[in-house]
């Protein structure tokens, strides 16, 4: 079953490459779409968690973690190209020599850029609604966002490795399961684990920072704080998906390479 899932990973990577070769703009738009889907998850998570945050309840994080699962469902079933997942797909496919590293670099760069633009656009849409303006609604998001920008660089880096390792598994493991119910439960469980553990996801952080920034609150994040977070987190996510998933699954399955080519 594992080999079957790896064949599917390769198929998805090559499908994404085909879209890019046909139209880099369409690929860019798909990347924007993915981070906007993450944005929906961020909003529902922090708005739900805020009800408990206001009461100083220990359930603020668990409730936010449960509802954030909406994001992975949107991406999995709604489409889009997320940089973090692509670190796994493209690394594995390149190691299998089905695409070049030059192509991988271009695809990663464009998907990351599209994710940034999508996060910014989604934040502006949320700002336009006025639904997050009041402190009784945005307090939880603002506090979490600010704490992310002041955490030590080394801690952010290792949290990011563990995060994308787990998130890539959230997409990979359900490939072996039958039925949408089992797949949805598994994906949401893995995302709950990453969120509740306090790991760092670069694209989710982009969306959280963008919303915090447009609110213009005194306790909002700063551009320097955002950079401080995103650089080590992006590198850590790349290692988590590229090394712990892409390279590891390629290496441990090298004896079965011929079977995957059938």
- List of domains in the chain: 2-257 (1.20.1080.10)
The residues near 119 (Cβ < 8 Å, ≥ 6 apart) are: 35, 36, 38, 39, 203, 206, 207, 209, 210
pLDDT averaged per 10 residues in sequence order, the chain, 262 residues: 88 97 98 97 96 95 95 91 97 97 98 98 96 89 96 98 97 90 93 96 98 88 96 98 97 80 64
Residue 1 is predicted with a pLDDT of 59
Can you give the pLDDT at residue 51?
95
pTM: 0.95
Cα distance between residue 74 and residue 43, in whole Å = 14
Which pLDDT belongs to residue 216?
A: 84
């Amino acid at each position: 079953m594992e080999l079957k899932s790896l064949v599917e990973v390769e198929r998805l990577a090559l499908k994404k490459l085909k879209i890019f070769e046909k139209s880099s703009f369409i690929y860019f738009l798909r990347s924007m779409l993915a981070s906007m889907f993450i944005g929906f998850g961020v909003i529902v998570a922090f708005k739900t968690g805020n009800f408990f945050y206001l009461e100083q309840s220990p359930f603020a994080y668990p409730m936010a973690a449960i509802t954030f699962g909406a994001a992975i469902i949107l991406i999995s079933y709604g489409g889009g190209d997320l940089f973090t997942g692509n670190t796994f797909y493209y690394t594995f496919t390149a190691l299998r020599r089905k695409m070049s590293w030059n192509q991988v670099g271009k695809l990663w760069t464009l998907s990351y850029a599209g994710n940034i633009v999508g996060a910014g656009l989604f934040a502006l849409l949320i700002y336009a609604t006025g639904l997050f303006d009041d402190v009784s609604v945005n307090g939880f998001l603002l506090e979490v966002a600010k704490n992310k920008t002041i955490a030590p660089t080394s801690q952010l880096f290792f949290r990011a490795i563990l995060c994308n390792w787990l998130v890539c598994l959230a997409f990979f493991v359900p490939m072996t399961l039958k039925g949408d119910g089992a797949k949805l439960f598994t994906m949401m469980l893995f995302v709950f684990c990453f969120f509740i553990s306090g790991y760092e996801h670069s694209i989710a952080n982009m969306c959280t920072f963008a919303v915090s920034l447009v609110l213009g609150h005194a306790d909002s994040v700063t551009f320097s704080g955002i950079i401080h977070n995103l650089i080590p987190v992006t590198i850590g996510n790349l290692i988590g998906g590229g090394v712990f998933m892409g390279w590891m699954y390629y290496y441990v399955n090298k004896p079965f390479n011929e079977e995957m080519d059938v």
